[in-house]
Each structure stands twice: as C-alpha cells, then as structure tokens.
Amino acid sequence: MSSITLTINGQKVSAQPGQTVLKAAQAAGIDIPTLCHHPALTASGGCRVCLVEVSGQRALQPACTFPATDRMEIQTESPKVVRARKFVLELLFSERNHFCMACEMSGGCELQTLGYRYGLDHWVYPTYTQRFAVDASPPHHLMDHNRCVLCRRCVRACAELVGNHTLDLRQRGAHSMLCADMDVPLGESTCISCGTCVNVCPTGALVDKRSAFMARPKDVARVATICTQCSLGCGLNVVMHRGQVLRLESRWEAPVNGGLLCRRGRFEALQDSRPRLLEPLIKENGRSAPTSWNWALAEVARHLHHESPQQLGLLTSTRLTNEALALLHAIFVRQLRAAHRGTCDAAPPALPFTPCGKLTDIVASDFILIVEADPARDQPVASFFIKRAVDQGTRLVTVESRSTELTAFAEASFPPRDIAIAVDLVQAAAKPVVVCGAGLRKSEADLLQKTQPKARFISLVSGVNTVTAAALGLVDRIDPAACRTLFIAVADENGTLDPLAARIDRSAFVIAMASYASPLTERADLVLPMATWLERSGGFTNTDGTQLRAHAALPPSGQSRSDWDILGRLAERLGLDARAAKADLPRCDA
Ligand code: SF4
Ligand code: SF4
Ligand code: SF4
C-alpha cells in the first residue's frame, strides 16, 4: 500500500499505513518524549508522557499507540501538550522517592531528563512519603521500589523478550506495586537473572549490583563486542569507566540476539577470580620461573621443530579467535602434520544438508522441533527465542533422551526411536524450524533430511568457535597419553580441559597457552600467557554460521598477548607466513 502523508508541527511527513504517530515522527527526526516506551517492546501507552494534539480529536492522544492516518495534523509541543506533559511528570515525581541526587542513575535517568526538559524545579503535590523495602535478594541485581514509576517496561521485557513471565504489578491505583511471581522476593522467584529488566528500566529502580554507584551514567564509555561464553556469540556492550569494566549491557542492534543476554553472558562472565597468568613461565628443576617472550617462543619452536608428527599433539579450546585457529591449523596441520589434535567440544553433527536457519527464524515459525538439544542449559538466549515463539502460538515438539527445561513448554516429547513421528509433524507445518544439538545421531540426521528444504535448520554446537575449529579439522578425539610433545591452547576456558592433565604422559613436554593458572598450566613445561576475551579482538563464527567480530575493551594484562599475536610470532619462528594462514579460514554465510 502506498505511503500516507501527515503534518507534524507544520512539517509534512511520510509514513507507512499502520505506523504509530511516534514511529512516523521518529522516522522524520522529530523528537516526542517517552517514558514507558522502549523500541524492543510493544507499546503500552501507559505513562502518558508522549501525549500529542491530534486535529479532530477532543483529547490528547499517546503518540506511541495512536495510528497515523493520511492528512492527520499533529502538534507535539503545543502549550496544551506541554501543560499536560508537565502535569504527568509532576505526578510521577510526587509518587515514591525521586530525590535524584542520591540515585545511582542520576545523570542517566529518563525521568530526571524529562524533569529538566520541562523545567520541574519543585514538588507541586505533596510527595509520597511511604518508604519501600529494597529487594536485593537476586545474586546480581536489585529492585528499589522507591524509584519505580510503574512503567511496566520490566514486566513486558520479562514476558515478551525472555518468555519468563516472572514480573507483574499487584493491586491497583496508588497501591500498585511491582512483584515477582506470587509476590515472593525476586531471589526466590522464577527469575533466571538474565538482567533484561535491568537494562530496560528507565529509572534507578532496577540496578546491576556490581556497578551500582561506581560512575555517573554520563561518564561511562561503551565498547561493542560479543559474548564468548557459548556458541551463539551474543552481541553486547562493555560499559567502561576510567579503564575499568563496570558491567555488561544489552546491545539492542546486535544481529544474533537482538540485545538479549543470559545470566552467564551478562553477569557471570565478569566474575572470574582465578589467578591470571601475566608473564611467560618456564619450568626449571620442577619449578616454574618467569622468562622472556623471546626465550619462551624460541623454546616452543625448538621443541615443535624437533618432534616427529606421530608424537606431536595439539589440544585446543574453541574459545580462540578465527585468526588464532587458522594459525594453529597452519602450524600443526599443514606445517608439522601433528598426528594428534582435538578439542574438549564435540564436533558439529555431520548433516547430509546445509543448515540455513538463524535464531530470528524461530520467532517467525509456526512449528519448532528440538532434537537432542538443551538450549536452556547450553545456549540460554536461544531458549528465550523458543519460549517467546511458544507464547505467540508456535507449536513445540521435542525429541530427546532426557527431559530439559523446555520439555514443559512442548506439546509433545518423543524418545529418539520415534523421531519419524516428529519429522511428519515438521513436514505438515507451514514455517517449521528444526533445532538440533551436538548429540544428533547419523540415523536422526538422515531422517531429518526429509524436512529439507522447507524447514529452517539450526545446529546448536557446544563450545564457542566450534564451527571454525571443525572446518579446520581441529575438532577430533585426542589421546594426550600418546603425545611426547603437546601444545595446549587452553585460552580462558573454564576448567573444561583440566581433567586431561592427569592423562598426559609424565615424560611429555607440555606447552600451555592460557589466561589463567590451572592444573594444566601447573603441569606445563612452558606457559604462554594469553589475553582474556575482554582483552583481545578477532573474528568468530557462531553456531549458525554468522561471522562476528569481538573488540577488545581492555589492553592485555601484564605481558599477556592475544591468541593470534602469540601464534603469529610462533609461526614466523617456524618459517611460516602468518598472514597467509588466513587463507585457511572457512567461508561462512554472514
Ligand atoms: S532478570 Fe530476567 S527473568 Fe529475572 S525478572 Fe528480569 S527479565 Fe525476568
Ligand atoms: S522497575 Fe523500572 S522498568 Fe519496572 S516498572 Fe518500575 S520503573 Fe518501570
Ligand atoms: S546465550 Fe551464550 S553467547 Fe548469549 S549471552 Fe548467554 S552465554 Fe553469552
């Protein structure tokens, strides 16, 4: 349908039929103030801050929900509108405690900004003097009811984006109060600590405990990067103040996750208290001693150079960048032809077709089949997309050996032997999505081929950059006991490689490239200190083949270096062209 034309503040504006007045104004660069509105959430028109004057309408209308029509005339800052908006703000400031100077959000609070914009310099109405408790029961965030303006952004975010439905308002009018479940403390509720509500709250009512009162919102900087805690690679912002990381925040425009983060990605990723490795170490007389990078790399090159391929092993984490994995391939596969190489993560299932689905396909689907995957445990943000789809009426069926958190959301769950029934259901659907995990068997993959090309297929691999590692032939079984020289790229792996330390031959020469001290680095004869995920930039290929780029928020600590930097220098010592190693990188869809 052709576009419509309306007039806002005397300016002709084009809009699409069905667009709200707010969207039409925003598209034309006209600012209408909002409070309960958030671009990632459905509009509710609850706070009345966005009221505008519409020709032919007796009352002022909320721009966030009022549909734009052809030849409509709008005034967004007329005296009548400003008077009404100020009245709304005066009421909001009079409820609860909005003594801004003592609030952690001062300088970044949307209510405070509106107060300045409309010249509120005193309380017109008697202020609400009742004090409310602060609910600090969740592990990572707190709820201060004194600052809440009951905009319901958090309620909508928890339901619409996360599909968790923990939050709601209880009672009515002046007695309205945000509550969790049947009014239990947040920490005892069904809250999964994803922090999405914290990120959408416009005031200081929901606060990240780690960074509370650490810096004024206007004094922080943000670095856009990706989470490397699982194979989704969710986009996020690292919030920085004076060179320190304050917290991790949603990046709403991120391609994979659209701003959603899970507890692991938003909070736990900053909680690593393991001792850092800050300088190269070499073992002398059974004790590790600091050495120089030059000496350490020369020793590594000497040992690798003199080892026979049959007794050389590479064990790598999949938390390495694309560039580092390509260098490992160039060094250990092409140059040294190491007979033993592998990771702690399972290889992606061998499929007789190419997976082509993205997370966003899940919410647009009418039928989801999950086969041998546990997204709520392994890739939590994927489970948010699935629960959202189920809320919207999408049917969910699982094929699984044991039940998972999502089993309760499924209309049917089949044991693996009955997968054919589920495949028939997929074929009968209009826009099906199949989500499979690393445990998919060959017989199941062959049966699922029948769902192609209709079904969008998403393979959820374990690990982080497993797609690239597998494409380079680095994901395999490895027996550490069979190696006389073993290079272990531990990276900032969370202990998953540690059990292998006990299986390494006592006489083997072990080189560990790692960020943190661990049983593996204790066993190592040479330790190369590596930058953490916050300290290095580089490419990643996520589980659905999307190419992503991580950006360093911090410089490498001590003498540690990025994975690709260490391996590039090692490659040069072995006579390889480090830049040419990039040719080994697989081509993946963007
Ligand atoms: S942290 Fe997540 S699950 Fe918990 S209440 Fe907020 S949005 Fe809901
Ligand atoms: S806690 Fe924040 S987002 Fe939730 S209703 Fe109150 S002010 Fe709005
Ligand atoms: S789902 Fe994975 S990538 Fe996304 S925030 Fe959680 S741990 Fe990080």
Looking from the CA of residue 261, the nearest atom of ligand 3 is 5
pLDDT band of residue 577 (cuts 50, 70, 90) is confident
Question: In 3D, which of 546, 261, 463 has the Cα closest to residue 381?
Answer: 261
Considering only CA atoms, which residue is closest to atom 2 of ligand 1?
194
Same domain, 444 and 473: no
Same domain, 340 and 474: yes
Same domain, 158 and 246: yes
Report which DSSP code applies to 20.
B
Judge contact between 485 and 311, C-beta under 8 A.
yes
DSSP run (H or E) holding 71: none
Phi, psi of 125, rounded to the nearest 5 degrees = -110, 155
Considering only CA atoms, which residue is closest to atom 6 of ligand 1?
197
Judge contact between 149 and 95, C-beta under 8 A.
yes
What is the average pLDDT across 507-524? 96
Least confident of 83-92, 340-349, 382-391: 340-349
Residue 587 has pLDDT above 60, yes or no: no
Residue 228 CA to ligand 3 center (angstroms) comes to 7
pLDDT, position 542? 95
Ligand 1 pocket member 199 (CB < 6 A)? no
End-to-end CA distance of the chain: 31
Least confident of 95-104, 232-241, 266-275: 95-104
Judge contact between 309 and 336, C-beta under 8 A.
yes
Ligand 3 pocket member 232 (CB < 6 A)? yes
In-domain check, residue 306: yes
Q: pTM value?
A: 0.94
- Residue indicated by tokens 């780690």: 210
Considering only CA atoms, which residue is closest to atom 8 of ligand 2?
151
| CATH code (residue 204) | 3.30.70.20
Residue 406 CA to ligand 3 center (angstroms) comes to 17
In-domain check, residue 101: no
Q: Which residues pair with 561 in a beta bridge?
A: 530
pLDDT, position 351? 81
What is the average pLDDT across 470-480? 88
Phi, psi of 219, rounded to the nearest 5 degrees = -100, 5
Domain assignment of residue 398, given as a range:
359-460
Question: In 3D, which of 327, 342, 335, 330 has the Cα closest to residue 562?
Answer: 327
Residue 191 CA to ligand 1 center (angstroms) comes to 5
Considering only CA atoms, which residue is closest to atom 4 of ligand 1?
191
Structure tokens at 433: 């999505």
Residue 556 CA to ligand 3 center (angstroms) comes to 23
Residue 316 CA to ligand 2 center (angstroms) comes to 44
CA–CA distance, 382 with 391 (Å, rounded to integer) = 14
Locate the DSSP E strands across 151-269. 167-170, 177-180, 206-208, 221-226, 235-241, 244-250
Question: In 3D, which of 423, 416, 464, 440 has the Cα closest to residue 349?
Answer: 440
Considering only CA atoms, which residue is closest to atom 7 of ligand 1?
158
Judge contact between 29 and 12, C-beta under 8 A.
no
pLDDT tens across 13-56, in order? 999 999 999 999 999 999 999 999 999 999 999 999 999 999 99
pLDDT tens across 418-445, in order? 999 999 999 999 999 999 998 888 899 9
| CATH code (residue 39) | 3.10.20.740
- Residue indicated by tokens 């947040």: 186
Residue 383 has pLDDT above 50, yes or no: yes
CA–CA distance, 37 with 123 (Å, rounded to integer) = 25
pLDDT, position 496? 84
pLDDT, position 118? 97
Residue 9 has pLDDT above 80, yes or no: yes
Ligand 1 pocket member 192 (CB < 6 A)? yes
Sign of CA dihedral 333, 335, 337, 343: negative
Domain limit, last residue, from 16, 42, 77:
77
What's the domain count of the chain?
4
